[in-house]
Structure 1
């Protein structure tokens, strides 16, 4: 099982790799740039080589890069949309140097323009920045459906993928808190939800999972992450997810409200069930 958490790269990628080892992880997620802004840290080849060695020596799974929250590819505002495209394009270029094969982003919010507009806007933006020569798999994150978010249903995610020219470079990252809040009952009907995902998108497109419990009830359309086993999903459902044969080779990334010690405890707990 590949399991890790969200880690800071403020001290470099090699340092993040060492922190991952300290908490018992064999993968991790990181923001490509300031999550509330747009500035990106200058890359160091020496630092990156250090991370590569850690990953090789410790049989790490795929790392997951996360786009900043400020990126809204569905926006009707030209300056917001242009920033999203510039940041996205720069991230893809930088990821050709970083040993990370997965890039996740929130599809965006249509801010009142409607789901169809948002889908079209996202796909148009992606088609303007993806060249087809990238070695990185680009993941749409499944959302909870709060406000005017795009991507809270498998059908919406599929619609975006179908409109992207280089759709072979597109995949999906499921967030367990998000999809439970969006109305997919992964507590009582996990097999049915995965079957629906497969029929709608294709299980081969599922490349990563954000593993979170939820503070809110099923179908609440709210995005409130909780610590593993402390929320409405519960430990049993989460264990069923990490042990499911269709998911066992996918990297699991914790985004629970924890510090490093909390992540370490959760990773240890979940490893005991595998």
Structure 2
């Protein structure tokens, strides 16, 4: 009996849709379909989890000198040797052994050609040099900002402001001196006015006459015992007498004020001109 031929069964439609979702690994020896592929950032090809690194799929656009920069240590002095971008590490190491290595050259101190942070008291070796745009010096990442390394441009900007503030300070000082001088002159004028020479008998009698005439005129006028203005004037005179007595005890009254105080006390003794008696 002849065996019937078996035809291969086509894959179901669901599997074909799943194959359209995934991506095939670009490595020639893998070609695995991965549903979560990795994209190389250098060559932009898709790879699986086993070949996505540049070294695993031999990426043609990956430059190890640019992306994998490591400062190697000198095998003799154990000092890190900075390598600028684009320079061969072997050439830089040979230069270090010939010029900078303390074991080969016999120098006990560090090589002066090694770039260091320009900020005082820092002295960090610069593997990645950062140049300030203002003062054009090289600093470490910690002191790269102008405020952190006391940039000279900041001091040059602050100098004009200090120079401009000097005239203002001088003018303020002169104004203060002139104000103090004016105050001293005013005090001298006030003291000169307060110290009055002893008046003559004629001048001393005239205020007395004026006060007596004023008192007689006031006594001649009629007063109402129930008037608020009269009571208020009495209180004011009483307070004036008390104030002048306090000043007299301290010796601050002038001759004219003494005459006024005497007239007020005399008027007070006569009852401030209220001779009317009212019986309720």
TM-score by length of structure 1 reads 0.19
Structure with the largest fraction of strand? 1
In proportion to residue count, which structure has more helix? 2
Higher relative contact order (CA 8 A, sep 6+): 1
